Each structure stands twice: as C-alpha cells, then as structure tokens.
Structure 1
Amino acid sequence: MLVCMIVSPPFAGLFGAPLPQEAREPGYFADLQLDQLVEAVVKGRERHNLVPAFSARLDDAAAIEQRQSVFAELADEDLLAAMRAFGDGLARCERQFEAAARVRHPRQAQRWRLNAIASYVSVVDAAIAALEKSAGLRGWLDWLREYRASADVAAMASEARALLAELGGLRYTLSISGDEITASPFADQEDLNAGTLDTFERFREGEVAPHEFDLRAGAEMNELHAAVLDLVVKLFPDVFDRVARFVDRHPAVRHPVIDVVERELRFALAWLDFIAPAQRAGLPFCLPNLRPAGRLEVTDTFDVLLAASRAPVTNDVALGDGESVLVVTGPNQGGKTTFARTIGQLYHLAALGLPVPGRSVALHAPDAILTHFDRGDRAGDLRSRLEDEITRMTEMLPKVTNRSVVILNEMFSSTTFADARAMSIDVLRDVLDAGAVGVCVTFIDELSRLDPRVVSLTTSAGTFRVTRGRADGEAHALALATRYGLTQDQLRARIGAHA
C-alpha cells in the first residue's frame, strides 16, 4: 500500500526569507538621501546590523506582499506590544548569557546561564500566550507551539525551573566569629534579625534613610561573596553539580528560527518607531498596492526624512494611460528636487515591504532605481563637471528597462543652455523609448512638451506644491513679481490706495 504524506515546509520566518546580513549601499542612496534616512532609522540599534536590511530592495512582488502582510498584522497595537516584549525579553536573555561569559567564578557563571535558559523559555511562553489572543502571525504561533512542545525544549524547560526552585529553597546558617565565617545547614535556629530590629526600634526617631543595598546589583562577585558561595556549595554539592551538568548540556539554546524572527521584528520596529511621530502629527502612511510596470498613483505623499524635522507639504501625482515621465519645472526653492527625491524614496521603501508616506500609493516593484544628480566639483577628480555627467549618464542609460525608475535632477546645468537642451532631449527620449517611469527636474521648459508620454508638473515658490500645469517660463517670473509686490492685482491695489 502506498501512503502519501504531506509535509509542511519549514517555517522560514515572518517574511518568508531571512533578511540579508550584508548588502552594498545602492548607488542611488546618496542622491535620494536614503543614506541619511537609514542612518536615522537604525540609530541606537546598531548592534542588530539592520543597515543591509534597509538597503537590499526586493523586486519580487510576492516577497514584497509577504512583508506587507506582516506590517498589516502589526497594526494591531496589542500584537505589536507583545512582539516588542518578545524582543526585549530576548535582549535580556542575551545580557544574562554575556554576564555568564564575563564572571570569573564558575558557579556564578553557571547560575547566570541557568537564569538565561529559564528566561528564554519564559520569553517563548509569553509570546505564545500573547499570540493566542491575537488573530495575527498565525504561522509564527504554530511554529512556536510545536517548538515549545518538542521533547528537547520541554525537558530543558522543566529541568531549568526545577533547578531554580531547588536553589531558591536552599537554607543555611552563616556564623561569623572574628574574621572567620562558617556555614552549616539551617536547623530552625532562632532568627536573630527580628530580635535585633525589635531591640533598636525603641530608639527610632522619625523616618531614617535606608541603608540596605542589593548584593546582586553587580555581575561580578567580590572575594567575600565568592568565599560564602564556596561554603554553600560544600553544603549542597549535589544540586550545584546538577546545575553544572545541565548548563554544560545546553551551551546554546536559541533556535536559528528565533534569531531570524527576532531580526525581522527589529527591522519592523525600527521603521514603525521612526514613523510614529509623523503619524501622531497626522501624516498618513499606507501599504502600497503593487501594480503593473508603468502605473503610478499617489495621494498625500511627502519626504519622510524631512518630516522628522518639520511639517512637510504633501503632494499628489499620477501617471495615466500612455504617460511615463514626469517633467518638473518651476522656480528655485520651489520643492522640485524634494519632490523628485520623494518619488524615488517611495519606490525603494515600497520595495522593502514597508508602510510608505502617503494616503494611498500604487506603483510597481522596479528592477532598478537609477538616479542622476549634479555632484559638483570633487577634489582629486580631474574631469570637468560636464565630462563627469556625460560619463555617468553613458553608464546609466543602457541599464534602463521598462521596469526601471529613473530620477534625473538638473541635467547638464554646467554647460550652455543650447548644449544642455540638446543632450537632455536625447536622454529623455532614451528613457521614454525604454518605457521606464521617470522624474526629470529641469530648467528647460521644452522638455515638458517633448512627447505625449511626458506629464508637465510645475511648482511655485513658498507653497512647495507640485501640480499639473504648462511650463511656460512664467511660474518663476510670477513668483518674483509676487515677492516684490509687482503683480497686476498688487499694482492696481497700490494705485487705488493713492487715487
């Protein structure tokens, strides 16, 4: 008889695949200020090595959606608090293991390890209890239950708790005579502490400052503590020997899956903690809808790094049928470059599976994010700025596909207007012909009318709003006229006031 068995695939973590431990910083990071953003997000969490996780973009829609599903479930505040407690508990266990490695007395090190093992089991039990009250992360709950019920873990947990209870129940008497200390089993001797306190109680005058101190405050015992411990070990050698054998049998207790999930939770919490102040200020975040290549619809998006220091302006943008490149024109300091960076950031953050800035966001998972920003003159580089731009552009354009995102900022501003115009037209046509999504910030209005696939966006100084509009060269002039009170309405008002 043939028996077919369906074997469930092993649990590979919340995200379905471990986060990378190493990753090169993408070439577009500095242009989009993502290097600064990631630095701000992981600040204070450096020991968890999260920079590679925030650098390595996913290009598979299913993998992105798996991460999104985890963030959707972590929107449950109780579940989020439970997973935060899980991470804190594991960190506490790690500190106990580290303390065991630091101390010199072997019996003290064994006790630290015993405490750490018992704490680890308690953390797992607490996570199971919390997950059982939630509808989220059911796969994680199923794995934890199976892991906790396994024979090895169940036996380890039972023995650890029994040993702790036995150690906690030890009773002995210390006798101090001069500089000599002896230990003996406790035999129901009179408690001299109570009598001494009663004797001196009559001399109390009001409240006095306490003079108690915690002998456990420091990880390392002094010579007196060690000597007393040695005496107690001689009184109860059996239990201490069993503790030693137990910790020797369990040199490493954390399951690799626990390590994977902890790092995933550190990654998620780092981002959620970073965006929390912006959310409390009323700024929207959402999980993007993944669309076919070329589709882009965004409402109320903003620069998330800027939002960490001041209230940003939100903008809407969309690419309709037959549209693929956004050309942004307008006055200096009008928000053009910030807008371009925001779009680039959106694609990267969305490809990490993160909640992104915006009330609603629909875009595709790009195969590449390519940027070209003016980098100015650099010490030690013998090439001119124009030569550097041409070289970088020549290297970039062959990489562009119909799934790429291209962010261009003020191309060829170091040369003459005529040369910049001619070269910019060639570059933009290459991007259009490749079918990529593009954002082009430029001072050349003609680019906004280059092709039906181009969408013209304009900005105005002071508002930082980006809207669809014809780039006719008047936006900058109008902003200057308004600033100096020279618009038609302003002039009429002034003339009328003096009539």
Structure 2
Amino acid sequence: MSDSGLFAPPARTAPEPDYFADLQLDQLVDAVVAGRERPDLVPAFRVRLTDGPTIRQRQEVVADLADPRLRAALRTFCDDRARCTRQFERADRTRHRPRARRTRLAAVVSYVQVINDVTDALANAAPASTGLRDWLTWLEAYRAGPDFAELAREATALRAELDEIHYTLAISGAEVTAAPFAGQDDLSAAVRATFDRFRADDVEPYRFELRAGIEMEQMDDAVLDLVVQLAPDVFDRVGRFLDAHPTVEPAVIAEVERELQFVLAWLDFIAPLQAAGLPFTRPELGQDGRLEALGTFDVLLAHSLVAAGQQPATNDAVLGDGERMLVITGPNQGGKTTFARTVGQLYHLAALGLPVPGRAVTLHAPDAILTHFERGDRAGDLTSRLEDEVERVAGLLTRVGPRSVVVLNEMFSSTTWVDARTMNTDVLRAVLDADATAVCVTFIDELSRLDPRIVSLVADRDFRVVRARADGEAHAVALAARYGLTRGQLRTRIEAHA
C-alpha cells in the first residue's frame, strides 16, 4: 500500500470549478456534507480523477461498502478515530500539565484500540477491493511492528498503573488533603443501602446534565496535584513516555479515514433515494464520446422530491456511433435545463468514482467539463449581457477538445432570433469540429437538424425528454412567453380583470 491510502486521496484544498454553479454541483455538495464538519469534505467533491485505473480502484472500494457489515465497521472506525482525535486536541489545549498528560495517555490508549478494532474488523470482512485489501495488509504489518507493539504495551501498562492509584480525600473547612487508600469503608454505599429500604415501586428517573464549569476544573486540577504527590514515580513515567512519543499516528491513517468519510457521505446521501426505488449504478468507463445513461435523474432535485413524498422523472441520455451532441428543444418548464445539468453532473460524479443516478451508465472520464449558462445583468457590469456572453463562449471554445464535455444552455437569448441562430450555429459547429461530447438546450429548433452528429431531443411538460424531431413549438412558446401571450399568462390576466 502506498502512502496515499486506499485510492487517490481526496484533495484537502481545491477551488470551486467554473462549471459547479451552472450544474448546481455546489448546492449538491453542500447538501451531501451538511452536518459533517470534520473533516472538510467539500474539496474532495470538487476534484475529478482523469485516469480510468484510479477511478476503477475507487469504484471497487465503494462496491465493498455495499456490505452492511463492512460499512458499519468502517463507520465505527471513522467515528472512533474522530473521538480519539478530539482527545488529543483536548490534551493539547489543556494548560494544567498533569491533566494534559492524563488526557493524552487516554488518547493513546484509545488510538491503540482503534487500530486493533479496525484491523480485526477488516480481517473478518475479507474485502474484495484492492484498496481495502492493501490497507488491511498495511494495518497488519503496522500492528505487528515493534514500534506499535511497544507503544501499545507501554500505554496500556501505564494506564493500568494510574487506574490502580486509590486515594481518600479529607475535607476540613477550606483545607483538602489526600492520603493513600487504606481499606476505609465506602460510605456512599452505606448511604445508598440505607435509603434503598424506603424504595417503593420503580419510578421514572428525573435526570439532568450537570456541566462542569471552570471552578470544577480548577478543583479537579488541585485534587490531581495532590494525587501526583502520592505517586510521583508513576506520573514521571507517564511524562517520559509521552515525551518519547510526541506523535503516534502515521499520516496514512488520517488520509484513509478522510477517504472513507468522503465515500460514506455520498452513500448516506443517496440511501433515501435508493430506498424510494431510484436506481444508482457503478458507471462503466467507455471510449471517448460514447454516452449511455438510462433512467437517470438530477440527484439534488430527486432528494427534495423524495423528501416531499414525490418521485422525479427519469430520462435516457444516449449518444450512439457517430453521434456527438444532444440538442434539446421543447416548451419552458419542461425540464430541458434540468436534463442538461443532469448529464453534466453524471460526468463529474463518475469521475469521482462514485455511484451515479441511473439503471445503467457508460461514459468517459473527461479532461474538461465546460459549461455556458445565461447570466443576468449585474450591478457594476461594464459590458452588455450579449457582449459578456460572447466573451465567455469564445473563452470556452479555446479550451474544448476531443475528451471535453460541453453543456450549453440557451445561448444568446438576449439578441434577435436571426442573430441568435447564426451565433449558435457557429458555436455548435466549432464544438462538433473539436469532436467534443456536448449537450445544448435551445429554443431554436433548426439547430437540432444542423449536423448528422446531432441527436434531437424534445422535452414535454411532464419532464420527459425523448428522441424526436423538433416541430417548431419551442420557439413559438418562447416568443409567446416573452410577450406574455401563453395560454396560462392570458388566462391569468383575464381572471384578474374578470
């Protein structure tokens, strides 16, 4: 196993890709990591993998986690290591030296237990993926090595010695003294025994949490100082042990836990959708340009609908031999933009090595995902909307190549229909000439017949997108909507004046 962990380690820092907002991947990632403050997983969802072998290795680990027993064991590892990390951090923040050392020793003992538990759990689960098998091999060698064995033995022995320190406290006014325990009676047990005789039937317990304030911490520290005086040799050995082991955890442990948290976050997010009957699949990585996504859907929209007791529409996105671009027309509010976003999301999620929405999905790992969605006028802009759009599209075309995925949504709608048709034609031909895989949403039906490499899709008001010849209705509906002449707009005005 390499130092990188199970598979390519998720990025710790990464800027948000340009296409994230257009595809609403920023909102999707925020929803996936909600409630998971540590570690920060947002950068992990931003960086695509670009080579097939690494993506497949990550996919194999995800497939292993379909086993509920293994998933539970690795979730326990993540939770236990997080608690252990908090113990170390609490020790580092504690200024009272004996208490800091006591806390740190407890953290070391917890760490030893975490390693033992996850190694045994992995061995019992017998994972199939190369990543988890390699990690198990690494864990077994690490646990059997002299460094960990010595760490575990000394930490456990010192913790046992501390546990064997028994003492009594004598309180006289404001004076508190400590002395070794000499077999005195347990007065608390006697008090409980006295009151037990007055118990009747069992009653509901009334419990509350008593939070220790700074005063209690100071008193605890003062008592601990007295105990140190009773057994100075034990605390000296604890100090020397901790000084000899300023760090105990190899960096790979934290990397693997972060990788697992990344995968578990996605599996937890899609679990309600799977329970509602929506399919997720391991995408096949095919040759450049091939796209077959059957029964796919927008994950973020589906999550909202399922939470409300509804089901999203599912659609197919297919590019066959010699086909390179999907051109989608149809009425407004028919799901055209959602469909285009879904295709873009598929490529990103597949390049993360994660299960993607759909019954069966085949696509390639893109070297670039390029998007263009219309932006409204913004205060402070020194250029017109059309000029800004032309500049952005021109910049996109300089980066497009054969392995690129391009998602275009209603370009140049702020100009006249004739100019928009001409400009769209030029852009689509440039994308086709670059041999990129593309999706284009437009109200200009003629674009769907521009080239034999284009597949015409038509959306309806039931959010279904199907292969069909554009019939001209999309542009008519777009014009009617622009001037407030759709059936719904007219009915609303008539009813308002009735």
With structure 2 as the length reference, what TM-score do the two structures score?
0.89
Match of 2:258 among 259, 263, 286: 263
Q: 2:163 matched to 1:164?
A: no
1:381-400, Cα deviation, whole Å (9 max, x unpaired)? 12111111111111111211
Separation of aligned partners in 2, 1:54 and 1:66: 17
Contact 1:402–1:434 (CA<8 Å) still a contact in 2?
yes
Q: Compute the displacement of 1:218 (Å).
A: 7.0
Q: Which residue of 2 aligns with 1:414?
A: 414
Q: Which residue of 2 aligns with 1:175?
A: 170
Match of 1:144 among 139, 144, 150: 139
Q: 2:118 matched to 1:127?
A: yes
Contact 2:330–2:474 (CA<8 Å) still a contact in 1?
yes
One-letter amino acid of the structure 2 residue matched with residue 376 of structure 1: G
Output aligned runs, 1:12-411, within 5 Å.
12-15=4-7, 17-136=8-127, 137-199=132-194, 221-310=216-305, 311-411=311-411
Q: Compute the displacement of 1:198 (Å).
A: 4.2
What percentage of residue pairs aligned between the two structures are identical?
Answer: 65
Contact 2:445–2:474 (CA<8 Å) still a contact in 1?
no
Q: Compute the displacement of 1:359 (Å).
A: 1.0
Contact 1:103–1:220 (CA<8 Å) still a contact in 2?
no
Separation of aligned partners in 2, 1:57 and 1:83: 24
Separation of aligned partners in 2, 1:441 and 1:222: 64
Separation of aligned partners in 2, 1:369 and 1:211: 59
Contact 2:412–2:424 (CA<8 Å) still a contact in 1?
yes
One-letter amino acid of the structure 2 residue matched with residue 471 of structure 1: A
Q: Which residue of 2 aligns with 1:471?
A: 470
User: Cα RMSD between the aligned structures?
Assistant: 2.5
1:325-351, Cα deviation, whole Å (9 max, x unpaired)? 111010010000000000001011111
Q: Compute the displacement of 1:220 (Å).
A: 8.2
Q: Compute the displacement of 1:167 (Å).
A: 1.2
Contact 2:335–2:463 (CA<8 Å) still a contact in 1?
yes
Distance 1:150 1:207, change over 3 A: same
Q: Which residue of 1 aligns with 2:492?
A: none
Q: Which residue of 2 aligns with 1:5?
A: none
Output aligned runs, 1:474-489, within 5 Å.
474=473
Separation of aligned partners in 2, 1:396 and 1:87: 41
Distance 1:231 1:73, change over 3 A: same
1:5-25, Cα deviation, whole Å (9 max, x unpaired)? xxxx6353111x322222221
Contact 1:460–1:476 (CA<8 Å) still a contact in 2?
no
Distance 1:475 1:426, change over 3 A: closer
3-state SS of 2:125 partner = coil
Separation of aligned partners in 1, 2:290 and 2:275: 30
Q: Which runs of 5+ in 1 are unaligned?
A: 1-8, 486-499
Separation of aligned partners in 2, 1:379 and 1:187: 80
Separation of aligned partners in 1, 2:250 and 2:213: 29
Q: Compute the displacement of 1:205 (Å).
A: 7.0
3-state SS of 1:231 partner = helix
Contact 1:330–1:336 (CA<8 Å) still a contact in 2?
yes
- Count the aligned residue pairs: 473
1:122-158, Cα deviation, whole Å (9 max, x unpaired)? 0111101110111212111111111111111111111
Contact 2:288–2:364 (CA<8 Å) still a contact in 1?
yes
Distance 1:181 1:208, change over 3 A: farther
Distance 1:449 1:243, change over 3 A: same
Distance 1:64 1:105, change over 3 A: same
Q: Which runs of 5+ in 2 are unaligned?
A: 306-310, 481-485, 489-498
Contact 1:303–1:338 (CA<8 Å) still a contact in 2?
yes
Separation of aligned partners in 2, 1:475 and 1:411: 15
Distance 1:452 1:247, change over 3 A: same
Separation of aligned partners in 2, 1:148 and 1:218: 39
Distance 1:211 1:101, change over 3 A: farther
Contact 2:443–2:474 (CA<8 Å) still a contact in 1?
no
Greater mean alpha carbon deviation, residues 178-187 or residues 310-319: 178-187
Separation of aligned partners in 2, 1:228 and 1:14: 46
1:216-259, Cα deviation, whole Å (9 max, x unpaired)? 96798533323322222111111111111112222221111101
Separation of aligned partners in 1, 2:214 and 2:53: 47
Distance 1:298 1:210, change over 3 A: closer
3-state SS of 1:317 partner = strand
Contact 2:444–2:475 (CA<8 Å) still a contact in 1?
no
Distance 1:432 1:221, change over 3 A: same
Distance 1:30 1:165, change over 3 A: same
Distance 1:77 1:52, change over 3 A: same
Contact 2:317–2:343 (CA<8 Å) still a contact in 1?
no
Q: Compute the displacement of 1:203 (Å).
A: 5.9
Contact 1:103–1:219 (CA<8 Å) still a contact in 2?
no
1:264-291, Cα deviation, whole Å (9 max, x unpaired)? 0111111111111111111111110000
